[in-house]
A = this chain, B = another copy of it.
């Protein structure tokens, strides 16, 4: 795709001028870290994308307003353990209060702070705990706190997800840092653009305008977080924030710089999206669904998402069963128009469906592919030149266990 070197030990504090912290306020029974703060010494240009769920959580509503009304952002406060969703006027006031408390501690306007929350829906925020957590998070801000921040936003995640990469622009080198969380309630079927899934924070010391960033966030989320699914359930709290403080002294100076930066940003988001699916609740497989030669991108997307969200396909993959009948059944009910007699399907390089029927590849070859941790399903519709891809996971006993027992 491109040749940037991704450093998975990097984080949101890899770019110049950013500090972060991850602390334990006490929101989780487990006693794990539950609050993160990302802060820039300088005002930041920004881009943002939020869930299109009708029940957008209070922090999403507040952050959306701050992003819409503000010229710059300086900080993002994040908590895990409570989603502050479906909490009414009190929840909205609490989300606003989280920005105010953070702003007061940092000595900046509260309009320059955005907030994100993840955890159980429908429970009011315990504001005393939050208040203590914010004080603690500010006191522990440090220029190498990015990994701690990434750890503290995890819910059912089993690994923290963070990275950094460097981009050589005409004026010099800039750095991108990023972190994300979320391995359940993950669905690519997003109704509006710009759009995102779960919580992702990207920092950069590159100089960019809000306009430049907004366009890039729209395109990059559309080809990363909007392409993944774990369980087909979209969240009430999905948030992506990109902060650019210009601390490198290097600006996006021309179209070529913009292209370079955008492709690096997209790569960062795709690598994190991949990590989310790899870490999908109970997932044992990472599957790329690639639909090609469709009559339109919309048709290709219907097909890709039908297969990616098919419970029968996902359980078959868990069982290392190449059962292509379930793939064609999903294509058949996707709503996309195509000639079933022209459809070919492949597992990696092995054909399983040729002209809508069995391609005759030996089960033993297919079994080899299905036993891999990662494989690709390619669908050729052969009635056009549009395509679309989605990343998905299998559904295992562990997925059911996690989500049947989450409550208790």
For the complex, what is the distance from the CA of A231 to the CA of B330, rounded to whole Å?
A: 12
* A370 CA / B356 CA spacing, docked (Å): 43
Q: Chain B contacts of A336 at CB under 8 A? A: 54
Is A357 among interface residues, defined by CB-CB distance under 8 A? yes
> With a CB–CB cut-off of 8 A, which chain B residues contact A338?
54
Q: Taking the nearest CB of chain B, how far is it from the CB of A29, in angstroms?
A: 15
Chain A 91-137 residues near chain B, CB threshold 8 A: 91, 120-123
Contact indicator B397/A401 (Cβ below 8 Å)? yes
Is B316 a contact of A407 with CB atoms below 8 Å? yes
Q: How many residues of A contact B (CB 8 A)?
A: 70
Chain B residues with Cβ under 8 A from A395's Cβ?
A: 311, 400
Judged by a CB distance under 8 angstroms, whether A368 is at the interface is no
Point out the residue from B231, B323, B332, B396 that lies within 8 Å of A407, measured CB to CB. Answer: B323
Q: Which B residues touch A335, using CB under 8 A?
A: 191
Inter-chain contact A185/B407, CB cutoff 8 Å: no
Tell me if B325 and A122 are in contact (CB < 8 A). Answer: yes
A331 contact set on B, CB distance < 8 A? 54-55
Are B88 and A357 in touch, CB under 8 angstroms?
yes
Closest beta carbon of chain B to A72's beta carbon, Å? 30
What does the 1/0 interface line of A335-366 toward B look like (CB < 8 Å)?
11110110000000000010111100000000
How far is the CB of A236 from the nearest CB of chain B, in Å?
5
Which of B55, B328, B329, B334 meets A185, CB within 8 Å? Answer: B329
Cβ-based interface call for A295 (8 A): no
Does A269 lie at the interface of the complex (its beta carbon under 8 Å from any beta carbon of B)?
A: no
User: Assuming the A-B contacts A312-B184, A312-B233, are A407 and B321 also in contact, with contact meaning beta carbons closer than 8 angstroms in the complex?
Assistant: yes
Q: Does A189 contact B (CB under 8 A)?
A: yes
The answer to whether B53 and A329 have CB atoms under 8 Å apart is yes
**How far is A400 from B83 in the complex, measured between Cα atoms in Å?**
29
* Interchain CB contact under 8 A, B311 and A232: yes
Q: Does A371 contact B (CB under 8 A)?
A: no
Give A128 to B335 CA distance when docked, in angstroms.
37
A residues contacting B by CB (< 8 A) are 52-56, 83, 85-88, 91, 120-123, 184-185, 187, 189, 191, 231-236, 309-312, 315-316, 318-319, 321-326, 328-338, 340-341, 353, 355-358, 395-397, 399-401, 403-408
Contact A328 B55 (CB under 8 A): yes
In-complex Cβ contact of A52 among B121, B122, B326, B333 (8 A)? B333
Docked-complex contact A357 and B407, CB < 8 angstroms: no
> B400 to A121, Cβ gap below 8 A?
no
* Cβ 8 A contact of A122, one of B83, B91, B340, B358: B358
User: Closest 5 CB pairs between A and B?
Assistant: A121-B325, A319-B404, A55-B332, A53-B332, A315-B403
Cα A312 to Cα B404 in complex, Å, equals: 8
Which chain B residue shows the least CB distance to A319? Answer: B404
Q: A55-B340, A340-B54, A407-B316 are in contact. Are A122 and B324 (CB under 8 A)?
A: yes
Interface centre among A54, A323, A407 (most CB of B within 10 A): A54
The residue that A328 contacts in the complex, of B91, B236, B337, with Cβ under 8 A, is B236
> Which residues of B have CB within 8 Å of A326?
121, 185, 233
Q: Which residues of B contact A396 (CB under 8 A)?
A: 400, 404
- Chain B residue nearest to A90 (CB atoms) is B357
Query: How near does chain B come to A327, taking the closest CB pair, in angstroms?
Result: 9
Residues of chain B lying within 8 A (CB to CB) of residue A399: 311, 315, 400
Tell me, in angstroms, the Cα distance from A233 to B88 when the chains sit together. 36
